[in-house]
Structure 1
Amino acid sequence: MPEDGHLPAAHRKSVRLFLCGDVMWGRGIDQVLAHPCSPEIYEHYLRSAEGYVLLAEQANGPIPRRNGSSYVWGAALGQLERMQPDARIINLETAVTRSNDRMNKGINYRMSPDNAECLAAAKINCCVLADNHLLDWGTGGLLETLTLQKLNIKTTGAGRNDHEARTPAVLNLGKARLLIFSFGSTSSGIPLDWAATSDALGVNLLPDLRGECV
């Protein structure tokens, strides 16, 4: 090892990452997949998620129903295969649940757990969960979402307590070990009472940093 602690360029290992934000497969998207949730929603302008499908059809023509797990990715799957990233990481902006324990917040996103194979279809390695829709369908909805690990998909940013929510996902890529942390903030619309604590599940919520001196 050189005295400055840096490896020579010939010995450095590069890692190629696929990073995708705000993946939302609720509402109309869930409805056109093979195993949709109940279409009932609680938005002031629509009461059925089927309404979003109809709006899309008015603009783009007929949309097939009961689509398979690769449907939501379209041409992106081919691009991922060409690029062959070492890790595929998304911000999952949708609770994966059939829970009906709706939070009264205006817009509630959920997709059926039976449609979660969409994540496996793109070989997603990790979902970051510290966002403002994770608890849209209550604590039961969060617990169902955490079962993504059954698909061999790591999660980070939420958990059954604050220790679990803070713990990074660990991906062993062979040539590197990747730690993935996920933090949420009230400025992104996460309510304070969604924060995980020592005895309550929730998200990894940052403290209010306004007025802090660094």
Structure 2
Amino acid sequence: MPADPVTLFLCGDVMLGRGVDQILPHPGDPVLRETYVSDARSYVGLAEAVNGAIPRPVDFSWPWGDALSVLDEVAPDARVVNLETSATRRGEFAAGKAVHYRMNPANLPGLAAVRPDACVLANNHVLDFGHQGLEDTLDALAGAGLRVAGAGRDLSGARRPATVPVTGGGRVLVFSFGMPSSGIPRSWAAGEERAGVDFVPELSDAAAAGIADRVRQTKQPGDVVVASIHWGSNWGYGVSDEQVHFAHALIDGGVDVVHGHSSHHPRPLEVYRDRLVLYGCGDFIDDYEGISGYEEYRDDLRLLYLVSVEPETGKLAGMRMVPMRARRMRLEHASGKDSEWLRATLDRFSRGFGARVGRQPDGTLTLR
């Protein structure tokens, strides 16, 4: 009998720092060094001005809201999130950065509430408070029993995939790496004796071949491989030819799912050789409510991706996307109107990749 498909929960950026950290039970130091905002609590005020009062402190499960009941119903085999914040009380503000994210490690139950199987860390905020902040983040996540990928105390640790056992004997292997196009400074790259992130300096054939070689050395029959990539700009639906070529090269080299993130809203998706490419998942949890300037992208709308993969072949067996909306720093089910806006937008920009997006009566989006 063929093995049952392996179901993955994937999402975009999870930012539990700054304003979100301030509403959780153990708010950290609110001081910021941004051009216009010096106190993280100001972001709470912006959200409240738009959507109403937020009770404080909230329960640790609050930011995830209705997403938790969806995940409880689906019971995915592996849950993968991009944790785009440091978890530390210490460290200096990283120089040359306009925005810094950190959460109090005492608020990590707010991350554990979604029961992540892998936290990918190769992004442009994990070293916002320097190597001290990264060390604290790695210690805090290890202490909470959470697997990580994409950052480590040296290059070997940063490149080590998160390994998630799956019922039936297989595994989900999550490789995490980031690129300068997402804002990761080159100085954050891990070295042989230096902590940092798995940094890929360019979208080259050589870089893709190097990752593929690591995949081949690790992958066993029945394993599902996810390449989680922090790349690209924050806004817009464009995907460069270089990104497409790189994603295809990864799949040609043994990757089963390309999990792209960094954009603040969902970007096009593609099925290449029967395998899924998500060029940008959009934000999932953040404190952006009330910030104006990019309303055309509806960044208050979020997607929860549920991806099913055949473990024997790595082929896509199915995918559903559950539309959510951020309101009062909590995820709730999107309205029918908002779900249709997401469907139409994703469908329009994914057509060039041969993908079409449909919608079920319950508002769930599907890949056609």
Task: Specify if TM > 0.5.
Answer: yes
Q: How does 1:25-64 map to 2 (within 5 A)?
A: 25-64=16-55
1:89·1:128 contact (CA, 8 Å) conserved in 2?
yes
Whether the aligned pair in 2 keeps the contact of 1:131 and 1:184 (CA below 8 Å) is yes
* More displaced 10-residue stretch of structure 1: 89-98 or 173-182: 173-182
2:195 pairs with one of 186, 192, 201? 201
Partner residue in 2 for 1:184 = 178
Q: Are the equivalent residues in 1 in contact too, given 2:186–2:201 (CA < 8 A)?
A: no
1:96, CA displacement in angstroms? 1.1
- Among 73, 85, 105, which residue is 1:82 paired with? 73
Displacement, 1:212? Answer: 6.8
CA RMSD in angstroms comes to 1.6
1:212 and 1:15, CA in 2 relative to 1: closer, same or farther beyond 3 A? closer
Equivalent residue of 2:70, what SS? helix
Question: Structure 1 counterpart of 2:185, which letter?
Answer: P
Q: Which runs of 4+ in 1 moved over 6 A?
A: 211-214
SS at match of 1:21: strand
Query: Residue 12 of structure 1: CA displacement?
Result: 2.8
Q: Which residue of 2 aligns with 1:106?
A: 98
Q: 1:6: which partner in 2?
A: none
1:69 aligns with 2:60: yes
1:26: how far off? 1.2
Match of 1:170 in 2: 163
Report the CA distance between 1:210 and its aligned residue: 5.7
Distance 1:86 1:211, change over 3 A: closer
Q: Which amino acid aligns with 2:49?
A: Q
1:122 aligns to 2:153 (yes or no): no
Distance 2:98 2:57 in 1: 27
Where do 5+ consecutive residues of structure 1 fail to align?
Answer: 1-9
Unaligned runs of 5+ in 2: 208-248, 250-368
1:168/1:179 contact within 8 Å kept: yes
Answer yes or no: is the 8 Å Cα contact 1:125–1:152 preserved in 2.
no
- Contact 1:26–1:111 under 8 Å retained in 2: yes
TM-score (structure 1 length as normaliser): 0.91
Q: Which residue is 1:159 aligned to?
A: 152
Are the aligned partners of 2:35 and 2:98 in contact in 1 as well (CA < 8 Å)? yes
Residue 224 of structure 2 corresponds to: none
Using the size of structure 2 for normalisation, the TM-score is 0.54
Distance in 1 (alpha carbons) for counterparts of 2:206 and 2:60: 46
> Which residue is equivalent to 1:5?
none
Residue 173 of structure 1 deviates from its aligned partner by 1.6
Query: Counting strand residues as a fraction of each chain, which structure ranks higher?
Result: 2
CA deviation after TM superposition for structure 1 residue 209, in Å:
3.8
Mapped partners of 1:90, 1:212: distance in 2: 27
